[in-house]
A = this chain, B = another copy of it.
Amino acid sequence: MSNISKTTDWREGRRRSARDAIIDAAWSLVAEEGLAGLSLRDLARRAGITTPTVYSYFDSKNAIYDAMFAQAATKFAKRMAEPFGDLDPLEVLVTGVRRFASFCTSDPARYQLLFQQTLPGFEPSPESYAPAVEALAHARGWLARNGITKARHVDLWTALVTGLVDQQISNDAGGSRWTRLIEESMAMFVAHCQPSRVSPNRSSRQTPRKGSLL
């Protein structure tokens, strides 16, 4: 099918892993200096190359941030898409939120890049952004399994979940003061959205699904 020679593939592969090595160095740097503290000098030094060499792989500093965003969004999507096995709807929701929280708290700089728009002058390209929306569609699926499809309730859920994660990262880094509230808060939330629910099956959907996933 392809007429690309083995040599070209090989070079492409090398180029790719060199790019990845730079991105890896970038992540380790922002973990220490903060997301905004990324300088191309330090980055080059840590990657074992010089500043101009960085420019042979990335057009600009923002292109580096964009590659970091794309990598993070892809990992995020994969993590959210992992199957749950045989769990009932509420357990799916709780486990999913735990996953989300674990993903976020394990690397605050990554969380800041992905979910807080706080980097001056940077916004991700549509290609980099795409996996992130895909991942959020999964979250909607978790809610839908609990019969929760109203936009108002989805918004309330995003506020609750991001609030827990945000407080955890900002005020108890490394601990579990807020993440341990996940189960209780999800029970509260589901009980609020399904006031008359008796059994945890899908019998009493509040709104008909249109074209939503799951």
A-to-B contact residues, CB < 8 Å: 33-34, 36-37, 112, 116-118, 120, 152, 155-156, 158-164, 166-167, 170, 177-178, 181, 184-185, 188-189, 191-192
Contacts and interface: CB of A to CB of B under 8 A. Distances in A.
A181 B152 contact: yes
Contacts of A170: 116-117
Contacts of A116: 116, 118, 170
Contacts of A155: 167, 177-178, 181
A192 B183 CA distance: 13
Which A-B residue pairs are the 7 nearest by beta carbons? Answer: A163-B163, A159-B163, A188-B192, A159-B164, A159-B167, A162-B163, A34-B120
Identical subunits present: 2
A33 B120 CA distance: 8
A188 B116 CA distance: 27
A197 to B, nearest CB: 15
21 contacts: A34-B120, A36-B36, A116-B116, A117-B170, A118-B118, A152-B184, A155-B167, A155-B177, A155-B181, A156-B181, A156-B185, A156-B188, A158-B163, A159-B160, A159-B166, A160-B160, A160-B185, A161-B163, A162-B166, A163-B164, A192-B192
Contacts of A152: 181, 184
A166 B160 CA distance: 10
A167 B158 contact: yes
Given A112-B118, A152-B184, A159-B181, 15 more contacts: A34-B120, A116-B116, A118-B118, A155-B167, A155-B177, A156-B181, A156-B185, A159-B164, A159-B185, A161-B163, A162-B166, A162-B167, A163-B163, A188-B189, A188-B192
A34 B122 CA distance: 12
A190 to B, nearest CB: 10
Nearest to A36: B120
